Structure 1
């Protein structure tokens, strides 16, 4: 290759332009080959099974992924491709935080970093396309994945949707266009991330008002408390309860001061809830009552303190369900009155119940109602509908960029990732056993 062509080819590769193997090229024999290809382009078809998809199919998949600017990757491999630790090794070698779909022979499975897509969402997507013909299956998977995945495409993919490659002689004519297009794609990714960061800051500012109200209310409870550790009758258990409540108050203030993203607020409300339960224990000890069981706070307003019972409640236009309530709200419901519901600013100059004020309040509510109970409590409300979507996942607030470990979708984390995201989640796809096309065991 002449020097000018060598330089141009290197530039094309740097901006993600794929160089296709000639029809007679040898099939991929290891994961490294697949990973190298996916670093440059989101769709890879092994030469041994190149008739599985047409070039138009490949171009369409590539265009869908790149136009959506999402970290979604697809590989089509022969049925005898080694399966042991395939997903873990593929993720390690590409280093890309993203979603990985693999069609192996006639079977299909997928994995993803939980920061980009929840395990439940991956399972649902994989199951929904099981048994479909190759082109339809991958098209349906990609369409759904780009709508659900969080983050942006890696900058190494550059721009454009052609994964079919071109002869070296065509590089001269395409070089300038690809280089300029690659720079434009990189700028687009940066703009998207700046926009997402701005959305995160706006959501955090909205939450900060509500959380500061909670911290202030808890501090006022502590100020009103007529307990002194050295008072007559105080024992070590009471002093421990009191100390835990004070520690929780300090933690809540520290966590809020350090919060950088909306999901960081969960730690604040968790600390406040721990502190309020400590005060409930202290009150019971001082009054000689049985110690209360650990229950969720009052659903209508966590500032009411721990709930004492579950009561039936029907939101406007919704279905009845049981929610944890404080004694005062339980009495109101029995008397046919409305409970005292926490309202928050919607940003439109009005205050609404927090469960009808939009997804920004998910992290705040998630800290109070942990253990997976919140989506059920909120079913049929605005916030509940958002949490039920695959994009919001089960991690409250992840819709605002909870890309654990500091990495976002499309970032290059190398081998720094949670391998459990890429393990066998049991029945998530054909590779886990029982799916059409073969049982590939638990090596993934």
Structure 2
């Protein structure tokens, strides 16, 4: 390798190093300027604090989030290594509802997810490259509907935001949050020298945490996919088709061969899966196999061949859907979803469909309320951009709004990167108004009310 070449794995580490060094130099210069260099109050104070720590509580709102709870919330965000910023503020003139989120993002200058508890209202917004607008809107709505005190709401939001947000925590959170101090250029210079090792350590720590999280998510997905593969194998057995049976045609044998190949391929793909995204290929293969089985069954009985439709929305193990039905998740709006004959009949008679449930930290839940970890699993069954529209207003649907949660993030600054005020306000939004009826809509924000 030439002496000037840089390994391909280095750019992210180098970028973080540059960011961290810039922050440390700024902190050192601020220390030398004395107290007069610090902002007098308002959003400047909030922004300065959030550049050092993920959680800020205005002293006038301390009763809503005690110091111990704020510290625990900050540790949770730091441990997740995600760019999630939380501010608890009083309903005061210096924090205008219509602009507080965007102005806070401008002053902090770091791409990320911003959550604000303002008085008795809650709202959030995010850079599109970190979390889609639909994801933020649905997550804010879910938190509001769940209710609870300030601590409960913020923890509920952070739990999902930490799992969903793209990017990394800013390097400036690596310290104690108390700044450089007053020891002058010597201390500042020492920090800058140490910054290289610190930045690389942060990079390795973030990568390790990401790998640990992906392993845990893959283990959870493996349970669900193994159940799907087993169910498909049982369907093959129940069909009891023999290529040499009386009446078997070449078309039937071809259908059966495709189904067998899909079964073997799904098992091989799952055994080789190394990250959650790999699961999408497994369930796509199972969907192909189930359609081949449905076609074979129709040929054997002389029934009309099935149309190529998506699998049953409520449980893909039910096989290809036969019609579209109107359905709404609890608290959500009606939408059209594909359903198998059995679930269509149940809905028509006023019963609940037979939903596919998966295990969560809160017990068994329908997969669309199980969070973004199941996005690769569902994406293989409902590809081609169909899934986000089916799931609008659900937990999983919020994470699939815009670019899929299991796909690469959109263009824009990586979460935790410094941009200053140079960001597109159209790419920063989510929660919208504050839900209380007063306060503006926030211009280019969109969504609910404060």
Q: Give TM-score scaled by structure 2 length.
A: 0.54
Q: Secondary structure at the match of 2:195?
A: helix
Identify if the C-alpha distance between structure 1 residues 228 and 16 changes in structure 2 by more than 3 Å, giving closer, same or farther: closer
Equivalent residues in 2 for 1:238-249, closer than 5 Å: 238-249=252-263
Q: CA offsets, 1:257-305, max 9 Å, x none?
A: 1111111111111011000000111112222233211101111111111
Give the aligned partner of residue 397 of structure 1. 406
Give the aligned partner of residue 93 of structure 2. none
Q: Secondary structure at the match of 1:341?
A: coil
Q: Secondary structure at the match of 2:299?
A: helix
Query: Is the contact made by 2:20 and 2:199 (CA closer than 8 Å) also made in structure 1?
Result: no
Q: Which segment drifts farther, 364-373 or 226-235?
A: 226-235
Equivalent residues in 2 for 1:125-164, closer than 5 Å: 139=109, 144-145=126-127, 147-148=130-131, 150-152=166-168
Q: Which residue among 369, 378, 386 is the counterpart of 2:382?
A: 369
Equivalent residues in 2 for 1:133-212, closer than 5 Å: 139=109, 144-145=126-127, 147-148=130-131, 150-152=166-168, 174-212=188-226
Give the aligned partner of residue 340 of structure 1. 354
Identify if the C-alpha distance between structure 1 residues 304 and 195 changes in structure 2 by more than 3 Å, giving closer, same or farther: same
Q: Secondary structure at the match of 2:333?
A: coil
The RMSD of aligned alpha carbons is 4.8
The question of 1:384 aligning with 2:378 is answered no
Query: Is the contact made by 1:15 and 1:179 (CA closer than 8 Å) also made in structure 2?
Result: no
Offset of residue 159 of structure 1 = 8.2
Q: CA offsets, 1:408-430, max 9 Å, x none?
A: x79xxxxxxxxxxxxxxxx99xx
Identify if the C-alpha distance between structure 1 residues 138 and 256 changes in structure 2 by more than 3 Å, giving closer, same or farther: same
Listed as ranges, the gaps of 5+ residues in structure 1 are 1-13, 19-37, 43-55, 69-115, 117-128, 161-169, 411-426, 429-444
Identify if the C-alpha distance between structure 1 residues 65 and 220 changes in structure 2 by more than 3 Å, giving closer, same or farther: farther
Listed as ranges, the gaps of 5+ residues in structure 2 are 1-13, 24-38, 40-45, 55-81, 83-98, 115-125, 132-164, 176-183, 416-425, 428-450
Offset of residue 178 of structure 1 = 1.3
Q: Give TM-score scaled by structure 1 length.
A: 0.55
Identify if the C-alpha distance between structure 1 residues 15 and 212 changes in structure 2 by more than 3 Å, giving closer, same or farther: closer
Q: Which residue among 292, 310, 314 is the counterpart of 1:300?
A: 314
Q: Which segment drifts farther, 268-277 or 193-202?
A: 193-202
Q: Secondary structure at the match of 2:256?
A: helix
Offset of residue 67 of structure 1 = 7.8
Q: Which residue among 283, 290, 300 is the counterpart of 1:286?
A: 300
